[in-house]
Amino acid sequence: MVALKIILTGHGYNISKKGGLLVIARADGSKKEVSIGNVSMVLANLKGLSISGEALRLMLKHGVPLILLSKDKPVGKIQPMMLKTHVRLRKEQVKAQEDARRFKIASTIILNKMLNQMKVLKRISKTRPISEQEVIDEKVQQIYSVYKDVSESGIDARSWLLSKEAEASRHYWEALAKIVPKEIGFTGRKKKYENPEDPLNVSLNYLYTLLMYQVWYAVELSGLDPFIGYLHEDSNRRPSLVMDLMEEFRQPIVDYPLIRFLLKRKIVEALDDSRRLKDSFRKELLQLFFNTLEKNVTFMNRAAPIKAQIRLQPIRLARYLLNHADRYICFDVVM
Amino acid sequence: MVALKIILTGHGYNISKKGGLLVIARADGSKKEVSIGNVSMVLANLKGLSISGEALRLMLKHGVPLILLSKDKPVGKIQPMMLKTHVRLRKEQVKAQEDARRFKIASTIILNKMLNQMKVLKRISKTRPISEQEVIDEKVQQIYSVYKDVSESGIDARSWLLSKEAEASRHYWEALAKIVPKEIGFTGRKKKYENPEDPLNVSLNYLYTLLMYQVWYAVELSGLDPFIGYLHEDSNRRPSLVMDLMEEFRQPIVDYPLIRFLLKRKIVEALDDSRRLKDSFRKELLQLFFNTLEKNVTFMNRAAPIKAQIRLQPIRLARYLLNHADRYICFDVVM
């Protein structure tokens, strides 16, 4: 069991350094020491925060992002001085939006997402009663026919790709709705702005946000512009490349571990009266998420923790954009 | 007299907040309170630093950059969470490098630099003996003939523009070499890597670095990529757009105030034995620089402190790139 990698709840933290350890103390006298090597990100509320220069130096040196929150919303961040960049990469990133690479990347992401969805369903299916297995298999077949549609058509309209993605995802979430316990009340996927009231949707939205920060940071470290993407529409408020690169991680890093967790654990009190995650349940989700990030997997002939694979993917995309690799391959390991 | 806007020397600072004031205390008990409205940037050594969340919140809210130094070199920074951007601007910035806008911006910068150089020389000339005035006037004429060359030729080769800029600058620095006291030992402009040994060159290099941080921050706030420029060559290590936008400020913000300062003040001990600025002299330069930033000037029909004009220029360039303005006009106020 690894330590929590993130501080989200409450305020009044004092962050200092002792050797290679981050020392996190609170006004009530509680204290935690974490080796910097085990920390992938720190989120801290500004209220009552105090932080030492040596702790900042340790985080900067190990590439650990510090996100500063005000009332749980990110308002600032500490990051290494960007004293160099990769100018040709930035330009190729823009140019690729207007040539054949855009469609290649977009369709690769969509097709891989469908493959991952089928993998998750098949994996879960094995542990279910025969009657459920048949329903799941049917959904897998439906996703597969969408997959074939996309891979064989060669239609390079992004709106069409996105409609196909929505179709596959509908089958995927319908299958999962049949699997998760009825008490959870999950009837279909609902995003944050749709105000879901069941713990699965609320948990998914929470974990996808954590995943977004991980991918965002990886994109920034790679030198790519988070806001110039290929599948998702350009937006000044949504970093489309981060959205693009999140797709391949949603199923293996969030969906599959979360569903397994919910199947094992009876949810007694996940949400409070206003349909928000209770602190105790949120801590369990954090533990689940950051344990997953530490898992070693082999991908592209490289064995590394998932958090490192997340860091590597934007770099691999950059190689493709710079013509140092002949294609971009999405993450597809469902453990 | 305004307070120093920057902390560079020494270490062991504690930065906290009291109302709208930044409270900066040191281990020796010394303490300074500065209104956040008067602060344009904070540079602090990580060694012995301690900073409160409320101080961070105050700086984030007022857009005051905190640059973290290790042995006086910037290693990190604290900045607002970039939760939105301007995607079309980023793309236009890249596209403008490859269309007619590149030459328009580059030649505007070069021509304005020559005009500013002539303004500085004429302004200084007034206070000099007649014999010197004649020499200066001759140099002004030489710069003017280069200016005419560039403005009339329409040659759109960047290397040619840069060679013309070098020609004008040679005349400019030759004129200044005749003006500054002989004791200073200034025989011509020398950049940092040329290891200058006279206080004027060492001071210029120091102040240009401070100016660079100001412009860099302004560029980042505007949403433009610091590394995609028009006059200066693309480089992964030198932010070419920052270099471009610095040009128009070098003469009014650094050269002119510095020359006036050196003409008034006898330099007794500016440099130490290894030809670096002595702490006491560096503090005078900081005072000079940040006093200049506070000066109100009217430019483009807008009266504002120079530090605000610096913030506005990248925004004005962005307007041109987005076709909301039909040209970009460089800063040209020599006070």
Give, for all 335 residues of chain B, the pLDDT tens digit.
233 455 546 678 999 999 999 999 988 888 889 888 878 778 888 999 999 999 999 999 887 878 898 876 778 888 877 656 789 999 999 999 999 999 999 999 999 999 999 999 999 999 999 999 999 999 999 999 999 999 998 888 889 999 999 999 999 999 999 999 888 999 999 999 999 999 999 999 999 998 998 898 889 878 899 999 999 999 988 899 999 999 999 999 999 999 999 998 876 689 998 889 998 898 899 899 989 999 999 999 999 999 999 999 999 999 999 999 999 999 999 98
**Residues B149 and B284 both lie in one domain:** yes
**Residues B61 and B104 both lie in one domain:** no
Task: Among B46, B78, B110, give the residue marking a domain's end.
Answer: B78
Nearest Cα of chain A lies from the Cα of B126 at a distance, in angstroms, of 42
Query: Out of A113-117, A284-288, B25-29, B176-180, which region has the weakest mean confidence (pLDDT)?
Result: B25-29
Question: Which chain A residues have a beta carbon less than 8 Å from that of B52?
Answer: 49-50
Asked if the structure places residue B253 within a domain, the reply is: yes
**Residues B135 and B156 both lie in one domain:** yes
**Residues A207 and A160 both lie in one domain:** yes
* Residue of A5, A44, A9 whose CA lies nearest to A281: A9
Asked if the structure places residue B8 within a domain, the reply is: no
Task: Among A33, A50, A78, give the residue marking a domain's end.
Answer: A78
Question: Which chain A residues have a beta carbon less than 8 Å from that of B86?
Answer: 236
Task: Among B27, B46, B78, give the residue marking a domain's end.
Answer: B78
Average the pLDDT over A44-50 and give the result. 91
Asked if the structure places residue A7 within a domain, the reply is: no
Interface contact flag, A90 B94, Cβ < 8 Å = yes
ipTM of the complex: 0.71
CA separation for the pair A35, A14 (Å, rounded):
16
Q: In this predicted model, which residue has the larger pLDDT, B274 or A204?
A: A204
Nearest residue on chain A to B87, judged by CA atoms? Answer: A236
Task: State the pLDDT at residue B299.
Answer: 97
Asked if the structure places residue B238 within a domain, the reply is: yes
Q: In this predicted model, which residue has the larger pLDDT, B83 or A23?
A: A23
Beta-carbon pairs below 8 A across chains A and B: 136
**Residues A73 and A98 both lie in one domain:** no
Task: State the pLDDT at residue B28.
Answer: 84
Q: Tell me, yes or no, if A62 comes closer than 8 A to chain B by beta carbon.
A: no
For B61, the 3-state DSSP assignment is helix
**Residues B51 and B33 both lie in one domain:** yes
Asked if the structure places residue A205 within a domain, the reply is: yes
Task: State the pLDDT at residue B83.
Answer: 58
pLDDT at A6 over 70: no
Q: Tell me, yes or no, if A322 comes closer than 8 A to chain B by beta carbon.
A: no
Best of A62, A236, A322 to substitute, by most chain B Cβ atoms within 10 angstroms, is A236
Q: Tell me, yes or no, if A52 comes closer than 8 A to chain B by beta carbon.
A: yes
Interface contact flag, B237 A84, Cβ < 8 Å = yes
- Contact between A200 and B63 (Cβ < 8 Å): no
Which of A52, A76, A81 is nearest residue B76 as measured by Cβ atoms?
A: A81
**Residues A121 and A238 both lie in one domain:** yes
Asked if the structure places residue A182 within a domain, the reply is: yes
**CATH number of the domain where residue A25 is located:** 3.100.10.20
Question: Of chain B residues 96-125, which have a CB less than 8 A from chain A?
Answer: 97
C-beta contacts of B89-93 below 8 A and 24+ residues apart: B89/B223, B89/B224, B89/B318, B89/B321, B89/B322, B90/A94, B90/A225, B90/A227, B90/A228, B90/B223, B90/B224, B90/B225, B91/A94, B91/A97, B91/A228, B92/B321, B92/B322, B93/B224, B93/B225, B93/B228, B93/B241, B93/B321
Burial of A193 (0-12, 13-18, 19+ CB in 10 A): exposed
**Residues A185 and A308 both lie in one domain:** yes
**Residues B24 and B121 both lie in one domain:** no
**Residues B171 and B299 both lie in one domain:** yes
Task: State the pLDDT at residue B4.
Answer: 41
Looking at the structure of chain B, the number of domains it has is: 2
Q: Cα-Cα-Cα-Cα dihedral of B165, B170, B175, B180, to 10°?
A: 110
**Residues B146 and B42 both lie in one domain:** no
pLDDT at A78 over 90: no
What share of chain A has pLDDT > 70, as a percent? 95
CA separation for the pair A208, A213 (Å, rounded):
9
**CATH number of the domain where residue A199 is located:** 1.20.120.920
Asked if the structure places residue B195 within a domain, the reply is: yes
Asked if the structure places residue B102 within a domain, the reply is: yes
Q: Tell me, yes or no, if A51 comes closer than 8 A to chain B by beta carbon.
A: yes
Owner of token pair 């103390």:
A25
Interface contact flag, A68 B60, Cβ < 8 Å = yes
**Residues B220 and B99 both lie in one domain:** yes
Task: State the pLDDT at residue B168.
Answer: 98
Give the domain range for residue A71.
13-78
